[in-house]
Amino acid sequence: MNKLFVGLDLSLKDYKVSIIDQNGVEVVKPFSVTNDQNGADILIDTILRCCKALAVDTLFIGLESTSVYGWHIQHLLADSPQLKPYHPHIICFNPKLIENFKKSLGNLPKNDWVDANTIAERLRFGRLPKSCPVDFRYLALQRLTRYRYHLVENLAREKSYYLSNLFLKFSAICQDKVFSNNFGASATELFHEFLTVEDIATRSLDELIDFIMEHGKKHFECPQATAKALKETAAKSYRLNASVDNSLSFVLKSCLENIKALEKQIKAVDKAIEKELPLFKNEFLCLTSVKGIGPVLAAGLISEIGGISRFENDNALAKFSGLYWSEYQSGDFTADDTFIRKTGNHYLRYYFIQAAEQLRKYLPEFADYYSRKYNESKTHHHKRALVLTARKAVRLVFALLRDEKLYNPSARKGDISIS
């Protein structure tokens, strides 16, 4: 069986190409093409000529994961009808893997041409990651779920920034937790009604009670106690210079507007995700049959897995998502304390961890497992227990998608198949 190996070193404007045969011999002189459709056409034509000249049976094309620069060429090559007769495997390497492999080749210089050849040699070495699947249904859904991840990250960052400025403005309200939620209606309207901490401290208790009852929408069991606590925290909070106080008020108002805009965008993305889900009816039904996994979590898992047939078993899926642990053993010694590998798909790892957080709340099996691992941990109890629970969730998700069955904990051997 003749094999051809193509290494691509990508950048914003162009990429370097190295093509070698299965003996490591350069088939053509390394060349550069522009990172656009014209360059892709030149690359495909060159690869086709090499495949025909060497009677190639299988084609391997490798590139490093470099932001978005390789996104177009990666999927264009995998979906190219001209290359399909040569069964192309499109491999996207973690840059650390290529860097470590390059060290094993000796003291090589650092330039794009050498990097392209290193990638081609790494392909020839074997033991490759999973090749890039091309199913544009998954890619479309993936754009939405990754954008939602981006929005959620920004929302968390914005809320953290808001709370840090809230402490500067009104220190004691953060210390004493007058409101259960500092992003609730009462807390966020506080400085629209009262401009400064001094203004709150000097208001009558009745005025503060009226404010809490108006904006709290009857969610406070005892408005009088909340008003009294608010007045006490205002009295002991630091007083600020007027100009600094005004600047902080502006920052807090702007942060709240950003938070509301992000929350609105997340709701819009959730609706867009739900519109895509009918294309994945069976997968969606399998995952949402588990209490705690809703449409958004199901969509995130489905889009990043990209078809369960890509994975031989749950270990392969766990490794792809970065939910597996290193091993350290030498002679009679085996380390008890090992660290998690985080070289996989961090989006998929995020959605598995989010799923684990929900499953431990709704399913006794996962709740018991989480509690056991929490108690066994010596440090970082919650994080360790949650990640281990996520690894358990990988087994569940893999089994449901592989067998196309609904989750039925009371009859595990007779789960309902999806027709």
Which domains occur in the chain, in start order?
3-134 (3.30.420.140), 140-273 (1.10.287), 278-414 (no CATH)
User: In this structure, are residues 340 and 299 in contact, taking their beta carbons and an 8 Å threshold?
Assistant: no
* CB 86 within 8 Å of CB 58: yes
User: Rg of the chain's alpha carbons, rounded to an integer?
Assistant: 28
Find the helix packing angle between 95-104 and 112-125, rounded to 10°.
Answer: 90
Written as tens digits, the pLDDT of the chain (419 aa) is 799 999 999 999 999 999 999 999 999 999 999 999 999 999 999 999 999 999 999 999 999 887 788 888 988 998 899 999 999 999 888 888 888 898 888 888 888 899 999 999 999 998 887 665 566 778 889 999 999 999 999 999 999 999 999 889 888 888 888 887 888 888 888 877 777 888 888 888 888 888 888 787 767 778 888 888 888 888 888 888 888 888 998 999 999 999 999 999 999 999 999 999 999 999 999 999 999 999 999 999 999 998 898 888 999 899 888 887 655 444 554 445 555 556 678 899 999 999 999 999 999 999 999 999 999 888 888 988 999 999 999 999 999 999 998 998 775 544 444 53
How many residues comprise the chain? Answer: 419
Q: Which is it for strands 58-64 and 89-93: parallel, antiparallel or unpaired?
A: parallel
Question: What tokens does 312 get?
Answer: 């031989």
Closest CA to 358 of 397, 381, 389, 395: 389
pLDDT tens-place string over residues 325-368: 655 444 554 445 555 556 678 899 999 999 999 999 999 999 99
244-260 confidence digits (pLDDT tens)? 888 998 999 999 999 99
The C-alpha atoms of residue 367 and residue 385 are separated, in whole angstroms, by 10
User: Under 8 Å CB-to-CB from 395, ≥6 apart: which residues?
Assistant: 314
The token pair at 302 is 């489905």
The pLDDT score that the predictor gives to residue 411 is 58
Q: How many CB atoms lie within 10 A of CB 230?
A: 28
- Beta partners for residue 330, in sequence order: 333
Give the bridge partners for 7, in sequence order. Answer: 18, 62
Q: For residue 130, which of 388, 273, 280, 319 has the smallest C-alpha distance? A: 319
Residue 341 exposure: Cα atoms within 13 Å on the Cβ side: 17
Q: What whole-number distance in Å separates Cα of residue 81 and Cα of residue 57?
A: 15
Q: What is the pTM of this model?
A: 0.79
DSSP H helices in 105-221 = 112-125, 136-169, 171-176, 185-193, 197-202, 205-216
User: Mean pLDDT in the chain?
Assistant: 87
308: its two tokens: 């369960």
**383: which residues sit within 8 A by CB, 6+ positions away?**
none
| Under 8 Å between Cβ of 338 and 355 | no
Nearest to 11 by CA among 109, 143, 111, 88: 111
Q: ∠ at Cα 14 (70, 303), nearest 5°? A: 10
Q: How far apart are CA 15 and CA 33, in angstroms?
A: 6
